[in-house]
Amino acid sequence: MEDSQSFKLLDDTVNAVVVQFSQRSYPGVLIQGDTLKIILDDVIDLRAELENGSSDEAKEIAEAIHERISELLRHYEMVLGRNSIALPYSQPVEDVG
């Protein structure tokens, strides 16, 4: 793969690096592989609990996933705001469940 894109590092917080690639309209979040694997493991556990009918455990796992992703989005929104970049969606995460 040829590296022909330039990028601007907007924030280098561990596990939530925010970068703006020159050919993309909006910045993205670079998630470390181990963090991504933890999220996938949580989703796998959630699915297993739902299949087993354990709604209390499923609810706890779903809340953990929600919090982890919400935390990433809150950080993303904060970085975009600090850099005077509009959100690529209409409603900030605080306004969504």
Per-residue pLDDT tens over the stretch 36-94: 999 999 999 999 999 999 899 999 999 999 999 999 999 999 999 999 999 999 999 87
User: How much is the pTM?
Assistant: 0.84
Query: Which residue did the predictor score with more confidence, 15 or 51?
Result: 51
DSSP labels, the chain: ------EEEEE--TT-EEEEETTSSS-EEE--HHHHHHHHHHHHHHHHHHHHT-HHHHHHHHHHHHHHHHHHHHHHHHHHHHTT---SSSS-GGG--
Residue 5 is predicted with a pLDDT of 78
Residue 74 is predicted with a pLDDT of 94
Residue 2 is predicted with a pLDDT of 60
Residue 6, pLDDT > 70, answer yes
